[in-house]
Amino acid sequence: MFLKQYINEMAQLGINSIGIVLIISFFIGAVICIQMKLNIQSPWMPRWVAGYTTREILLLEFSSSIMCLILAGKVGSNIASELGTMRVTQQIDALEIMGINSASYLILPKILGLLTIMPFLVIFSSATGILGAYGTAYLGHIIPPDDLTAGLQHAFVPWFVWMSIIKSQFFAFIIASVPSFCGYTVEGGSVNVGKASTDAVVTSSVLILFSDVFLTQLLS
Amino acid sequence: MIEVKHLYKSFEDKDVLKDINTVFEDGKTNLIIGQSGSGKTVLMKNLVGLLEPTKGQILYDGRDFVQMSKQEKVAMRREMGMIFQSAALFDSMTVLENVMFPLDMFSTMNYRERVHRAQECLDRVNLKDADEKFPGEISGGMQKRVAIARAIALNPKYLFCDEPNSGLDPKTSLVIDDLLHSITQEYNMTTIINTHDMNSVMGIGENIIFIYEGNKEWQGVSSQVMGSTNQKLTDFIFASDLLKNMRQMVIENGLHLNDNA
């Protein structure tokens, strides 16, 4: 039963978020590349600099931190409202009456599911962001594809990929646990469920930003 | 049998239950009645362990539920079934999955046996052709019947119902009452129903406990209600002028009452 819940949560929280992650990553990758080309590139800079900075921004910040902030909105509100509604409609009480540890049954699979799926989302986000950058090169002709490729390959540090994944694991825990707490402890009715949902998104976003500062310092 | 001895429950400074002493008997539909805010839901929540009593004993066939460890309470709860006011069906599951849920969690049956048992329970509550529907797609009365099917799936010894007729029309309420009554007798369960539906009181009340401002004000059977001299009980049950007049007419016309409590 736990395995079933775990797989359901991976699908609901992770796989159902792939679409939004891919769309946002593609366009943000494209926009970063355009901005880098237009604002940083100068005759005094190497031609690969736009590609290089695009890769670093995507890998170091966007695909872990910013993508997780976006997920905090989507997944966080989903978790808080689901658990909050279950609380006010007595579904959690029904689980307790059956002798089931409701927190363990409802929350643990969410946390483990999101922790499992998050590295894949980070990798998909980075890859799609780079595809977006290539889109500006091939379709928008903003930057020559060879320059972009040279930049993407320049001074690549594999640790940054791991850093991105490690950071995302901390953020995944925040995204799953904070809204779970907010939703699980709701008292009252629909207004309180809405409030819990908002609190969940705000609190988890702020915690992600705070922890990003410490994690970046710690892992760099 | 469930015995409640000297049960008190307070929230901060407010005493909600005051020295409740009663017995809920096996194979009978035991009704807890009382005005909104009188403490009947708090009493039921204490009985099932959703709230901890301030003091007192709740004995399930002699076993003190209040003193049990967390593990013992979890084991004890597997002998209980509960029907909530809102039915509390799991939205994300179909009707069949809802009924199968306790079996999935606690039985050692294989999948085919679990499906068979769940369908048996759904048949028992006269709910057919709704297996694949979600709770949001069925009526309130059907939801209550699914909740009953889910509650009896594991053959509980104790069945708790918190206002099972709430939000239902009078005819559907009677169907639910009859169902609860017949299931109680069939499985020889100790059934406790929290209600303020007077049809239930008069129809299936084999042991009625009237709670007034946190005290057990009256206890008896449905046949004693009409002739009761307890003013608080009669004011509660025969609240409208129409009912008061009807009661007066029945008494004046010499309806034979077995007992006057």
In order, the DSSP letters of A82-128 are: HHHHHHHTTHHHHHHHTT--HHHHHTHHHHHHHHHHHHHHHHHHHHH
Burial of B132 (0-12, 13-18, 19+ CB in 10 A): exposed
Q: Which amino acid is at B124?
A: R
Contact A85 B106 (CB under 8 A): no
Is A89 within 8 Å of chain B by CB? Answer: yes
| Contact call for residues B187 and B9 (beta carbons, < 8 A) | no
Q: In the structure encoding, which two tokens stand for residue A114, read together?
A: 């999101």
Min Cα distance A189 → chain B (Å) is 13
C-alpha B92/C-alpha B82 separation (Å) is: 19
| Distance from the Cα of residue A130 to its chain's centroid | 17
To the nearest whole number, what is the mean pLDDT of chain B? 86
C-alpha B66/C-alpha A60 separation (Å) is: 55
Q: In the structure encoding, which two tokens stand for residue A28, read together?
A: 């943000």
* pLDDT value at B257 more than 60: no
Query: How many CB pairs (< 8 A) connect A and B?
Result: 47
Q: How large is the average pLDDT for residues B217-233?
A: 82
C-alpha B126/C-alpha B104 separation (Å) is: 22
pLDDT value of residue A56:
94
The band of B255, judged by pLDDT with boundaries at 50, 70 and 90, is low
The band of B254, judged by pLDDT with boundaries at 50, 70 and 90, is low
**Domain coordinates of chain A in residue numbers?**
2-219
Is B175 within 8 Å of chain A by CB? Answer: no
Highest mean pLDDT among A165-179, B114-128, B197-211: A165-179
Min Cα distance A133 → chain B (Å) is 40
pLDDT value of residue A59:
93
| Contact call for residues A63 and A25 (beta carbons, < 8 A) | yes
Q: Which segments within B112-229 are labelled E, that is strand?
A: 158-162, 190-195, 207-212, 215-220
Exposure class string for B35-69: b at 16+ Cβ within 10 A, else e: beebbbbbbbbbbbbebebeebebbbeeeebbebe
Contact B50 A93 (CB under 8 A): yes
Which of B73-77, B185-189, B206-210, B254-258 is predicted least confidently? B254-258
> Would you mind telling me the total number of residues written for chain A in this entry?
220
Tell the CATH topology of B1-79+156-222. Rossmann fold (3.40.50)
| Distance from the Cα of residue A37 to its chain's centroid | 26
pLDDT value of residue B256:
53
Comparing CA positions, the residue from B28, B22, B24 lying closest to residue B5 is B22
First to last CA, chain B: 23
C-alpha B235/C-alpha A12 separation (Å) is: 53
Selected residue of A16, A91, A101 to mutate for chain B interface (largest B Cβ count, 10 A): A91
- Residue B210 contacts by C-beta under 8 Å, 6 or more apart in sequence? B33, B34, B216, B217, B218, B219, B230, B232, B233, B236
* pLDDT value at B141 more than 80: yes
CB-CB neighbors (< 8 A) of A93 in chain B: 50, 84, 88
The backbone torsions φ and ψ at residue A209, rounded to the nearest 5 degrees and listed phi first, read -65, -45
* pLDDT value at B2 more than 50: yes
Q: What are the helix and strand counts (H, E) for chain A?
A: 10, 0
pLDDT value of residue B260:
47
Q: Which residues pair with B167 in a beta bridge?
A: none
Contact B88 A85 (CB under 8 A): no
pLDDT value of residue A81:
96
The percent helix, strand, coil of chain B (3-state, each to 5) is 40, 25, 35
Is A1 within 8 Å of chain B by CB? Answer: yes
Flag residues of chain A having pLDDT under 50: none
Min Cα distance A28 → chain B (Å) is 35
Task: Identify the closest residue of chain B to A8 by CA–CA distance.
Answer: B92
Q: In the structure encoding, which two tokens stand for residue B29, read together?
A: 């539909």
Contact A93 B105 (CB under 8 A): no
Q: In the structure encoding, which two tokens stand for residue A93, read together?
A: 């009480």
**Could you report the predicted ipTM of this complex, rounded to two decimals?**
0.80
Q: How large is the average pLDDT for residues B204-227?
A: 86
- Residue A36 contacts by C-beta under 8 Å, 6 or more apart in sequence? A49, A50, A53, A54
**Domain coordinates of chain B in residue numbers?**
1-79+156-222, 91-155
pLDDT value of residue A166:
95
The backbone torsions φ and ψ at residue B169, rounded to the nearest 5 degrees and listed phi first, read -70, 160
C-alpha A130/C-alpha A30 separation (Å) is: 8
* pLDDT value at B90 more than 80: yes
Which of B33-42, B50-59, B228-237 is predicted least confidently? B228-237
> Would you mind telling me the total number of residues written for chain B in this entry?
261
Min Cα distance A78 → chain B (Å) is 14
